[in-house]
Amino acid sequence: MPKLMEVVKNDNLFTSGHRACAGCPAPIILRQALMVAGPNTVVSINTGCMEVVSTIDPFTSWNVPYIHEAFENSAAAISGVESCYEAFKKKGKIKKDMNFIAIGGDGGTYDIGIQALSGAIERGHRFLYICYDNEAYMNTGIQRSSATPYGSHTTTSPAGSVIPGKKQKRKDLTEIIVAHNIPYAAQASPAYRNDFMKKVEKALACGGPSFINIISPCPLGWRFNPDESIEIARLAVQTKFWPIYEAENGKYKITHKPREEVDIEEFLKVQGRFAHLFKPENRHIIDEIRKDIKYKWDRLERLERLYSD
């Protein structure tokens, strides 16, 4: 864990005064990431919730150099900035060390921006990509994305008499990124801040492209009370719905293992987007979700054991 008294000196790199919805954990995520990265950081961010709420002209919440990009371009932009920095440093025009962070929501990462992200990672640029995953296109009306969980109600996968929510299972983007053979990839939760900040520190120090996928519960889209965001982010981990783990040079480690089994129903029942699953005709979807969680967790444990021997 980064030394607390050191990182709190950078506490104002993402400031208050933004227009995020009450209870949104994404500003907390950004603030904590920048506390670790420090002032010598350049940020590129996709169009999305955090761009919209933090840069309403003529105001900004960013106290580091910041570039707003279209949905698909955050990784491409930061790779260009990093390349320029390396060229200037080689020529002696820049001497200080810099960090480079690209940021996007799940829509701009899982879907629209995955090509640019994959390309930047394959080229080996030194940057950290942080995806704040609220599991739908929340900024434009709560439409389903490929990060939206199976069975979830959204405005484009509405639960009703025709379909019981989203019919497809979500994409496992973290594992797609791991398959690129990068130095560091991880999943995190804002409910476990020390775990997240340590992962940011590792990612920035790994010497190459890195990726952190962090769950970001949305009170509006997930339909829960704004004061419950962090508790729901904790439940996501405790129920193993959102395992927090890392793959460091391909070596897996689960960074938090729940001491007690918490059934997935405890996570689902506190969110309005899953309310329809508790009708008798839809209960089988909960069983399928439970089965998928077990499969994913068992796979992670096998991968972890593979490297612990």
User: For the segment 202-250, what is each residue's pLDDT rounded down to a tens digit?
Assistant: 999 999 999 999 999 999 999 999 999 999 999 999 999 999 999 999 9
Q: Work out the burial of residue 229: count CB atoms within 10 Å of its CB; fewer than 13 is exposed, 13-18 middle, 19 or more buried.
A: buried
CA–CA separation, 95 and 208 (whole Å)? 19
**Whole-number pLDDT of residue 309:** 61
Sheet containing 184-188: order of strands:
66-69, 41-46, 99-105, 128-133, 210-215, 184-188, 245-248, 251-254
Do 222 and 241 touch, CB atoms closer than 8 A?
no
- Amino acid identity of residue 106, one-letter, is D
36 lies in which domain range? Answer: 4-308
Tokens 């105001």 sit at which residue?
A: 59
Count of domains for the chain? 1
Query: What whole-number percentage of the chain has pLDDT above 70?
Result: 96
CA–CA separation, 40 and 190 (whole Å)? 23
- Is residue 163 pLDDT above 60, yes or no? yes
State pTM to two decimals: 0.96
**CATH number for the domain including 47?**
3.40.50.970
* Residue closest to 164 by CA, chosen among 175, 153, 155: 153
